[in-house]
Amino acid sequence: MEQVSAWRSHGGTQGVYRHASAATGTDMTFSVFVPDHAPGAKLPVVWYLSGLTCTHANVTEKGEFRAACAEAGIVFVAPDTSPRGEGVPDAEGYDFGQGAGFYVDATEEPWAQHFRMRSYIEDELPALVAAEFPVDMARQGITGHSMGGHGALTIALRNPGRFRSVSAFAPIVSPMACPWGEKALGGYLGADRAAWRAYDACALIEDGARLPDLLVDQGEADQFLTGELRTELLASACAAAGIPATIRYQSGYDHSYYFISSFMAEHLRWHAARLED
């Protein structure tokens, strides 16, 4: 692992790191904020998964999370959204290819070799972070925005007991029921929609996966709410399954980091309450 940069901020260290990923076959870059802490201490960790077109840098520069993390003593990890670099396939448009990995392990060519973001986020990066940073892997939370909200929900649902806390900002709740998701899952996984269910939060809940509770914020002025995000489907799935879900519609807020940063500290306090010893 190589340290790309590091800054002091809010009584902690904001770093950016790069490593050679076995899962993707590429170099991958991620950011980590570590609050100041006692020597030998292990801190809870919150994973943040970003949305379409984003890298680690979007939330790192615009998410306004460091003060809340420093106050609560939380490590904040923000990976990239897809493999990148020479030899990595790409596609026209922002919603498929590089920057749009959808947190799946692709099975279709030419994507299968590198687009293995599920394995990277579920297995490889946690092992690296656990080895290199002062984190208590028994106290993990996960959140994300849009495509990253989809990733956070599906990863938590597929890994029961791993995450004590799960939240999301304007998540894609059912890729099987929206144009972004149908394009991505069809392209990465092929035409068999049964294979898509492992990457659809509503389908996973319908198939028996559960969360202890859930916090979701969604902007009412979000231009993607009706066609792509379909928040009402998640509310219905959680209600049918008996999952305690706080799903809040925020008046006047859109899909941007102005929205995310407005509620980031509240989400992190919510995670912190569930990540206490």
Cα separation, 45 vs 18, in Å, equals: 19
Dihedral class, residue 11 (left if φ above 0, else alpha if ψ from -120 to 50, else beta): left
Distance of CA 261 to the CA centre of its chain: 15
Q: Which residues are catalytic?
A: 146, 222, 255
**Token pair of 225 as six digits:** 């709410």
> Residue 120: helix, strand or coil by DSSP?
helix
Q: What is the largest CA-CA distance in the chain?
A: 52
Instruction: State how far the Cα of 165 lies from the Cα of 263, in Å rounded to an integer.
Output: 16
What single-letter DSSP state applies at residue 139? E
Residue whose entry in the numeric block shows the structure tokens 């002062």: 134
Strand order across the 43-49 sheet: 2-9, 12-20, 27-35, 75-79, 43-49, 135-144, 163-169, 214-219, 245-250
Tokens of 175: 């890729």
Nearest to 49 by CA among 189, 194, 153: 153
Whole-angstrom distance, CA of residue 177 vs CA of residue 274? 31
